[in-house]
Amino acid sequence: MSKMPSYTSTTNACKLCKPLGASIAFRGIEGCVPFLHGSQGCATYMRRYIISHFNEPIDIASSSLGEKNAIYGGGPNLKLGLKNVTSKYAPQLIGVATTCLTETIGDDVPMLLAEYRNEFGGSEMPLLVHVSTPSYSGTHMEGFHAAVKAVVEQLASDTIANGSINLLSGFISPADIRYLRGVCDDFGMATTILPDYSDTLDGPAENDYPLIPAGGTPLHAIKQMGGARATIELGATLPAESGGTVLLHRHATPLHRTGLPIGIRATDAFFALLSELSGRAVPAPHAAARGRLIDSMVDGHKYIFGKRAVIYGEEDLVVGLVSFLAEIGVQPVLCASGGKSGRFADAITAALAGLDCELPIVREDVDFFDIETLALELGIDLVIGHSKGYTFARKENLPLIRVGFPIHDRVGGQRILHLGYHGAQALFDLITNTVIDRKQSESPVGYSYM
Ligand code: SF4
């Protein structure tokens, strides 16, 4: 295996900008407007990415800093921006994320927000949450988790026992969020899912454009998260400090961390946890879905067994997918991510423990130049990840199975279901049919059925 060359440029990054992840998390909170303390260009770039994937409009406000703010500081722009957003949108919450520029010039955002509250405070003032998201030191996933932690840290205050469950579900699709909500309902558990952008980033068509779309995690529920019975936090590479650990340390809310429930084993573990917390057996429709999934695996195994795949994207998603692929007989040969949590390789090893599967090559902090170079040496049949791998897949004439974020070159990225038995079924059918389609299109005789 060749050693990666030493160079300083990035060729088609396998990650996105840190405040972009924070903006998506803020969008999943009721009545919230995401606000970037930085230049207009940053907000425009993020809106473009989010709109292209979710096919929904998203307003991301900005303090619109210019050159002179880089010298004199962005405080006045931040305060004016907050006033404008408050009067135009009447939000319940403004989520303020910093950018590379404001982190570099060293704006003290907590102090500026304290000044703003003193200067303009009143009953009409929305809640303000701030998060530090310098993109040169992290990815969109880190920004997402940082925003969730900031929301919990700055808003969860009520510790009166309320019997509910907190579910910090990580960066998943709107379809995944809806699925989780349904599963929790089926277990009879009152659950606060944070964040919940299943409606705000995947809502119905409306005649009038709502400045703030309906939906999102209710603010009153966030304030009560400290009184929950337990917190479930999904993700295998979560930071040491997270929303879940804040609830644990500040409010003594028991914390259960588990990977994203992708594939049979991970979903079994998640459902076992829900059974334990709810005191109920796995509801019959979900047990039946599991049975159908296994039946389909038996049926389709002959098509996909032994295929070799490269998987890339957010670390937690890749960890979930890798065990699922091993379960269905696809050999994951390369797992890659632009993230660099330092926990990626261990999480992959843990996810594959006990499965009849060779350990894949694992690379964090890589771009698509790295991924392509390695993948070609390993010999692969399938590329699994988001649209940013399209160039590489097309060049090498490999089928790309689109999962995760961002999906720019297909519709329905927001409707991809990855989680649970239902998500595994959808992924299994997609992968198997892709392999069959490739075989047919490469066959000189095509296909016929007598
Ligand atoms: S990477 Fe930095 S400069 Fe670029 S859009 Fe993100 S915050 Fe702005």
pLDDT on residue 3: 64
Q: Which residues contact 441 (CB under 8 A, 6 or more apart)?
A: none
Mean pLDDT of the chain: 96
pLDDT on residue 283: 98
Residue 267 CA, ligand 1 centroid: distance in Å: 36
Mean pLDDT to the nearest integer, 152-162: 94
- 362: number of Cβ within 10 Å: 20
Of 425, 400, 448, 403, give the one whose Cα is nearest residue 300. 425
On the 0-12 / 13-18 / 19+ scale of CB atoms within 10 A, 250 is middle
Mean pLDDT to the nearest integer, 218-244: 98
Residue with CA at minimum distance from ligand 1 atom 6: 17
What distance in Å separates the CA atoms of residue 434 and residue 418, rounded to the nearest whole number? 17
What distance in Å separates the CA atoms of residue 411 and residue 418, rounded to the nearest whole number? 16
Q: Which residues contact 313 (CB under 8 A, 6 or more apart)?
A: 14, 337, 385, 386, 403, 404, 405
Residue with CA at minimum distance from ligand 1 atom 7: 99
Whole-model pTM: value is 0.96
Cβ–ligand 1 contact at 10 (below 6 Å): no
Phi, psi of 29 (to 5 degrees): -120, 135
- 5 pLDDT tier (thresholds 50, 70, 90): low
Q: What is the pLDDT of residues 294-320, one digit of tens each?
A: 999 999 999 999 999 999 999 999 999
Cβ–ligand 1 contact at 264 (below 6 Å): no
Q: What is the pLDDT of residues 122-150, one digit of tens each?
A: 878 999 999 999 999 899 999 999 999 99
The DSSP-derived string for 350-400 is: HHHTTSS-PPPEEE-S-BHHHHHHHHHHH--SEEEE-GGGHHHHHHTT--E
Mean pLDDT to the nearest integer, 399-413: 97
Mean pLDDT to the nearest integer, 93-112: 96
pLDDT on residue 10: 87
- 88: number of Cβ within 10 Å: 12
Q: Please choose from 47, 135, 141 the residue to mutate so as to test ligand 1's pocket, defined by most ligand atoms within 8 A of CB.
A: 135
Residue with CA at minimum distance from ligand 1 atom 8: 42
Residue with CA at minimum distance from ligand 1 atom 5: 42
Of 317, 311, 349, give the one whose Cα is nearest residue 330. 311
pLDDT on residue 213: 96
In whole angstroms, what separates CA 386 from the centre of its chain? Answer: 12
